[in-house]
Structures are given as C-alpha cells and as structure tokens.
Amino acid sequence: MPMRSVTVTTASTPVLSFNNRRTTASLTNNGSATIFINSSQADITTNGYPISVGGSIDFIRALGDEPQLAMYAAVATGSENMRVIEQYGAVPDSLYPEPFLPVPFEG
C-alpha cells in the first residue's frame, strides 16, 4: 500500500494520477489550514471539496466511489502537507450485493 507526502500549494497540485487499478485512495490534511480537492484542475479553492485540518476523505471503489480518477488539491494561501495512501488490486466479490431474484408466486 503506497503512502506518500505531498506539498499542496495555491497552484493546482496533482495528488493522484488516473489509475484504473486503484481500488482505494485516502487523502489526509496533515497541515495547518484547509486543503481543497477536486477532480478538475480549475478553481479548486472555489469549487473543490474542503478537507479541514486533521480531516481526511476516503474513496473506496467497493462502495461506489471512483478512486481511479485523477485528483488535484490547492490551498488559499501558502503551502500545506497532505498524506496520500493508495491501494491496488481486485475488489473482492463478497463486497458486491447479491442479485435480486424474484420468487414466483404460488397460489
């Protein structure tokens, strides 16, 4: 499970590149100010999702998220530290719901 540290600045900072094999991604704000994330590089601090100091967000494919997408981050001023954890591999079949099979009516 690769773990790394990323310095996020006021410019669009790539924190995850697109990878279709990624099954889980966790982004944690290890800085002292809010970090904003977005799958778009434009207007991240305006339209992005805020991660508060000490907060984190998890993207889990088995729960319907899209951790394979590229993700960018930015801060309003200065620079802050973000921790990134990625996990790769197949999603276990047991995490998918069983298909609904109708029961025939016997009357």
DSSP 99: P
Average pLDDT for the chain: 90
For residue 45, the surrounding DSSP H or E stretch is helix 44-47
CB under 8 Å to 20, separation ≥6 — which residues? 68
pLDDT digits (tens, 9 = 90+) for 23-66: 999 999 999 999 999 999 999 999 999 999 999 999 999 899 99
